[in-house]
Amino acid sequence: MLVAFDFDGTLSDSEMVVLLGEQCGVADEIDEITERAMNDEIDYAESLRKRCALLEGLDEARAQAAFQQVQLRDGAAAVIDALDAAGVHTAILTGGFERGVATALDSAGTEVDTIVANRLPLRDGGLTGEVEGPLIEGTKDTALDQVASDLGLDRSETVAVGDGANDLPMLETAGLAIGYDPKPAVEDACDVVVSSMAELQTVLEDHGVL
């Protein structure tokens, strides 16, 4: 069994790119673009590039300060640890950034088996304003299928947990689609909707994942 989580807005209530934006005074502009993307009003790849372009020149130390603020939701580490104890493969599929995910997991004292995330390249000690990685043009259904294939699992043996429009591909693909306080444009694609990690754990138990 494979359980794939979105990160920003799902495992974490932080929005990494907004935290980065706060470090260089562009958080409001980034937040507006983020909301439009999550409600499926603007193409995700375009929105991500627009947001990252606003971060050009942010120095590495201030970027790391933003990543240090990224935290898992209450109860998220317990869900991940329970899945690990049950022998379930856990993955994070996020358009967010590797360093923020790794920092949050480390701070919570937990880990997942697979992370598929993007990167913010540096040049001369600062962010270039560009973004690299598999989940810019690539979509989360492809990522989910790849991880499942590597594990020898069928789609029916997968669970996806997400909240925003860029999660739609994996929610529509997975055997079980769980919306975590999903945006209106996403809710119809969800088999189940939860609003806390405790609820999520109960749903996973009810469906025999835990």
The amino acid at residue 97 is: F
Is 8 annotated as catalytic? yes
Is 6 annotated as catalytic? yes
Task: Name beta bridge partners: 89.
Answer: 2
Contact 94, 170 (CB under 8 A): no
**Position of tokens 């997942």?**
112
Longest dimension (CA), the chain: 51
Query: Which of the residues 6, 141, 145, 167 is marked catalytic?
Result: 6
The tokens for 2 are 């494979």
In degrees rounded to 5, what are phi and psi of residue 92? -115, 120
> Among 122, 17, 127, 121, which Cα is nearest to 69's?
17
Task: Name beta bridge partners: 178.
Answer: 161, 192
Task: Name beta bridge partners: 132.
Answer: 119
The residues assigned a catalytic role are 6, 8
